[in-house]
Structure 1
Amino acid sequence: MRKKLVSLALLCALAAPVQAAMIDGTALYETLFRSGTLDGVTTGSHLVYTRTVTNAAKPETATRDTGTVVLTLAQGDALMANLEFRQEEKHRSLGSFPASVGNPMIMYFAETVARDMSETAGGSPFYIRNRLKESLVSAADLTEGQAQLDGADIAVKTVVLHPFAKDPNRGRMNGFEDLELTVAMSDAVPGYYLSLTAATPEGSPAGYHSETRFTAVEAAR
């Protein structure tokens, strides 16, 4: 049974923030990589995310990467979070991760952005990946506000990152030098992550926008 949990239109329109602050790297890590984020998800249930990509420089990759990501908890020797990418009838495994660590969608997001940037702008994917990972444990802006979930207000934390703002190689990034990462999180949403977005500024030659958004939970059958 598929249960729609989030009103996307209302989710996008966050209320006026009640608190905004700069947090250090330790606090950012603890916020982004919360342990126990899958504890309330039933074994066999599916967390469903939509991934939508726009890429003006390489539109064929946007078509390739737009689809649905499904997270399923499965019990083996340990409880595992299995990720699968779906496009209509095509299904592709993205890997299995220990559920005890938390929701692997945050690292899937970082890996896909690193790959997309490397394919589009050139440069070493290892360098890009390392800079992105560094930004996930550095100081950042955090805003607290509200969104709507099943008709009720829920508390939302939103973090905004600029991983290449001070990078010495900014001039070689072909429009990705001002890439912005935005992660919206709420304890009221199964799996914790409401949306994970990476975007170049309007007018950038890259024309890149990637959004992975929680859309539903499908109950175990």
Structure 2
Amino acid sequence: MNLTDTLCRAAALAAALLALAGPARAAEDFSPAERALFMTNHLAGTKPPATLRYSFSKSGSMEEAFDDQVAVKLSARRDGKCCMASADFLSGARKLALPEVDEAQGNPAVLYFLERDIREMNRLTKGQQNYFRKRIRMAVYQGAQIDDVSVSYRGKTVAARQITIAPYRDDPLRVRFEKFANKQYVFTLSDAVPGGVYAVRSRIDGETADAAPLIAEEMLLDGGVAATRKP
């Protein structure tokens, strides 16, 4: 691939990530979940250079399980402020090519997780990536549940917010991918942890209540505690 192709692909992915974060709207039109996920300066107080490290795990009955790593690298902008961001998202054949974010405020790990997830939904269902982006945006805007929770970080209990969405539960087109329609996403945010993002999880339940999940994925900040795996 030549440099022009590389730059075009990077620009296309950057545009896709911006689309996932949502269209420009008046400030009062954003939901609390949108503000928390996409409009909060998660990197406030971060002194570059710094690296946010996450573990990534995939399990479930549908495909082979694996464990891998994510590193979000933060460096100073030209004005010395935080932050320019780049990422090593997974490794080897699973590695996701990602553009650098020039003026990151929100932790880009959230958008990177979702972008990979959308590509996986496209692979599994043959549905359009833009359709999945739209459903996620709509769920964050009007269907999110927000709960105050406590999590363990490096042996200490800290306050956090948990945002849960189910983008396809009420989807009129769910019959096209019924096996995956119960998919749920859980975002755990905390001001008490570096980068503000403690974990992002997704889960597709099995066909019966006691069945193992078809697919369960988790991106967890180094120093956090993995979610308890349900059957």
The bucket for the TM-score relative to the shorter chain is 0.7 to 0.9
**How far apart are residue 210 of structure 1 and its match?**
1.4
Higher relative contact order (CA 8 A, sep 6+): 1
Where do 1:149-160 residues align within 5 Å?
149-160=153-164
- Whether the 8 Å contact between 2:77 and 2:102 is mirrored in structure 1 is no
1:126 CA displacement: 1.8
**Which residue is 2:70 aligned to?**
69
Say whether the 8 Å CA contact 1:37–1:102 is kept in structure 2.
Answer: yes
Identity %: 22
* 2:26 maps to 1:26: no
Deviations 1:184-205 (A, max 9, x none): 1110011111110111113379
Q: Give the number of equivalent residue pairs.
A: 189
Which amino acid in structure 2 is aligned with residue 202 of structure 1?
Answer: G
Aligned: 1:127 with 2:131: yes
Conserved? CA contact 2:96–2:116, under 8 Å: no
What's the offset of the Cα at 1:112? Answer: 1.3
Which deviations, in whole Å up to 9, do the C-alpha atoms of 1:8-53 show, x marking residues without a partner? Answer: xxxxxxxxxxxxxxxx961111122243211222212110011112
Contact 1:28–1:139 at 8 Å: present in 2 too? no
Q: 1:101 and 2:108 equivalent?
A: no
Structure 1 residue 149: Cα displacement: 2.5
TM-score with structure 2 setting the length: 0.72
Post-superposition offset of 1:216:
5.0
Q: TM-score, normalised by structure 1?
A: 0.75
Asked if 1 retains the 8 angstrom alpha-carbon contact of 2:166 and 2:185, the reply is yes
Task: Name the residue aligned to 2:216.
Answer: 209
Q: Secondary structure in 2 aligned to 1:94?
A: coil
Distance 1:114 1:92 in 2: 12
Q: Which runs of no fewer than 5 residues in structure 2 stay unpaired?
A: 1-28, 225-231
Equivalent-residue separation in structure 1 for 2:41 and 2:148 (angstroms): 21
1:181 Cα offset (Å):
0.5
CA 1:157/1:180 → structure 2, altered by over 3 Å: closer, same or farther?
same
Distance 1:216 1:93 in 2: 26
Q: By how many angstroms is 1:152 displaced?
A: 2.8
Counterpart pick for 1:176 among 163, 171, 180: 180
Q: Tell me, in whole angstroms, the C-alpha distance in 2 between the residues paired with 1:55 and 1:124.
A: 24
Higher strand share: 1
Structure 1 distance, partners of 2:106, 2:138, is 19
